[in-house]
Chains A and B, each alone.
Chain A
Amino acid sequence: MIENLQGAFSLLTTWNVALTILICSVYGLFVGAVPGLTATMATALLVPFTFFMDPVPALVSIVSMSAMAIFAGDIPATLVRIPGTPSSAAYTEDAYELTKQGKAELALGTCVMASSIGGLFGALVLMTAAPLLAEVALKFTSFEYFWLAALGLSATVMIASTSPLKAGLALLVGLFFSTVGLDITLGYPRFTFGSTELLNGINFIPAMIGLFGVSEILRNMASAHLRLPTTDVRAQHIFRGVGKVLWKYRNHMMRSGPLGTFIGILPGAGADIAAWIAYAMARRFSREPEKFGKGVIEPIVGATTANNACLAGAWVPALVFGIPGDSITAILIGVLFMKGLRPGPEIFARQPELVYAVYISFLVANLLMVPFGYLAIRASSTMLRVPRNILMPAILMFCVVGSYAINNSDFDVGIMLATGILGYFFEANGIPVAPVVLGIVLGPILEQNFMVSMIKSDWDLTQFFTRPTAAILGVLTILIWIAPFLPAIVRRLRGGAAVA
């Protein structure tokens, strides 16, 4: 372990990795602080650059960028009542009300410190849970992997969305995209329409850039409010009084850290859901729940701890099983495949320095968040003045060139455009986009493990339940599917019993 830590440290302290952390931190802070740009979009736009990096800086860039972006979303939420990323939406009202009361400094200072603590907690869970789970995962066969993928997808649809039907449709679209190209059993071309470019399937990266980048640009350009409200709030002494607040509400942090990390581990649920649930939990345990939404610091402490803790949590299933915990780690898995690395328990044995580099980069990013966050808050009024009518065309240019750069192919630019239109249409009609991504990533895992299992069990479906772990995962998956119908079933059974 010590050797691996030393190896990871030496990798992280090279000038190019240190520079990557610095640049990506600034990039993350900017993206987070500008409303309309999300951390997932920023990750998708980062991917073309990671294509040219070694694996360690590629992963570290995603870690540092996403950690900073989730925190920075709190800045416009506090100053102009527009959450920078969806993860800050839960407590925007409270944060902005505090600004109106002249307590913007306290709100922002609390956000940066609680985010950092939440992120560090998530990182510690990642460091302890991931290796333990990897030991277990080494014994998994195609049956367990099939059920894991099915469980992840089911959780995405049934738990992490407001409309399971629409999330299910989005997932099916993603899974369908994953079937395009040569199939795994006979090498037969599916849905290629004679195109040689489609034989290798729909390229993940342009699809990602389209779904998260172009669709956001379309949404922003369709909005009448391309100019953001400006602020003249000068936040200089942001740490004054923060220690007292954090100590007073330490119980919220102690609950929200594990909660956020757990939600991160749950496939499909991201930092935004973690923040909403932590907010609801803070209200439940508060002595003054009636003040929530009217400018109190209490819910902010818990929710902002949870959304940053969630980020590291999402890396646990991504690294150990290759099952993404949120849309950022879905993109991460694409990056790992692009680098020729297969996420899963073997990565802990074969490339331990890579895993340790991820651990340390989470710690470093969350520690750097305090000074960098301070500087970002100082520069916030300038960042909020960046005109979006210049920013959006510039981002579109990055989307186009980034999609092209992966295979030097205009066809990929077309894929980006098509998925961008699809993502925009989906969002406008209440169909979430994240399940599409999870479908594209998990589709091959699901199909391959299903077909391998079927062939080796000679098409005997009962074999999917004969191994203990597979049986538990299978039952859990089925329970998730029937959970919405359980109350009705119980009512009917009780009614029947009463009649009897």
Chain B
Amino acid sequence: MFNFSLKQLSDLLAAKKISSAEVTREFLGRINRLNPLYNAFITVNEEASLQQALVADTKIAQGLAQPLTGIPVAHKDIFCAKGWRTTCGSKILSNFIAPYDAHVVERFKERGMVILGKTNMDEFAMGSSSETSYYGPVKNPWDVRAVPGGSSGGSAAAVAARMAPAAIGTDTGGSIRQPAALCGISGIKPTYGVVSRYGMIAFASSLDQGGPMARSAEDLALVLNVMAGFDARDSTSLDRPPEDYTRDLTKTLAGLKIGLPREYFAEGLSDDVAQAVEAAVGQYRKLGASTVEISLPNTKLSIPVYYVLAPAEASSNLSRYDGVRYGYRAPQYNDLLDMYRKTRAQGFGAEVKRRILIGTYVLSHGYYDAYYLKAQKLRRLIAQDFAEAFKKCDVIMGPTSPTAAFNIGEKSGDPVQMYLSDIYTIAVNLAGLPGMSIPCGFSHKKLPVGLHIIGNYFSEARMLNIAHQYQLATDWHKRMPEGI
């Protein structure tokens, strides 16, 4: 059962051939057995999950089943879910029980979907390896010595190890796509504003976007159908008519024009990743697509721009963790200032502190123009690059990450090397575009490689179609790690 697609599970549930309780128990059992190996979950609450499964089964029995009713999904521990501990991978929220549901969680609940558990992640989504979590590093199911990518590494590992049929994550600079690539699964970050950020703990508000992670493009489309939608509580949520993201899955790719950015196949890209991506592009030509070389000349600016803007927003977003109202408070302190200092010194990890410091610095009086304002201007140039590119092609393809999964500890001492692993994904967030990653082969160390697909604004349905057609012709997405 654990290898069934969401469509299969959904059909079996609707036909009452299996129950949500059975499906949920199956995956909880797998979590029980496999999570000690991969540390993909921070919190599992079997009782709460099974309770939701029973509600779903009642719904189904009453003939009220909708698509995905009764399906259990793993949630990145960044989404507030009422009654669930929601830590964001941090010590500072280690005792925080969310008193409300994120918009996304509400929508899942309305569908009668089950929360399978809260997945591990880089602290406050700051990281590309899931090593910065207070709850210990996540391990890659393809090789436990390797990282799963990050920050949604727990969600990626959970899906790769079949501990969950699907998961949700968030992507600020690649945090859905890069771990999807490194764990051999599919993931999509929608256009900024498609999924409500309400209840999704903020890292960098102008970049954060939630999205699904699953084993296939078809599964992604089904989950995105539930996640996406206008929410008046998020002022950046886009008020657009609801879409069926599965509507174009079966369309042919004949005539599709794929743009290949020169800058994405240049220095820094490892040979094995390049080969897998080029083979995937070859497959697309077989499916009727043509390719055109394009240029995104400001690509090299995206990392410096991102590492000004994201920390600036984060330094302010994380100010609320002050020990006053909720969350961790240092046990001993002399006065208010001392309480703040000790609480935050003890409650935040090194990477979060680094980014708060960078962010505070770039917003400081006298530095604001040179850093923040300049970065905002460059951000527009980067978006302009894409606008130009989409005049020449329908979709952009390249590698999701320059290398396959690196080893735990390999880059954790060198932040710049770590930041470079998001070189291809970050610009997409800066432009607010949708991006996805699908498995397209393996490295020479037999670790998964991801194909990065970047679409124009609101072209998610087309991107899912492009991914789905590839997955009909190939079986990379069906490969499983050994020993699970």
Q: Do A and B come from one complex?
A: no
Question: Which B residues contact A (CB, under 8 angstroms)?
Answer: none
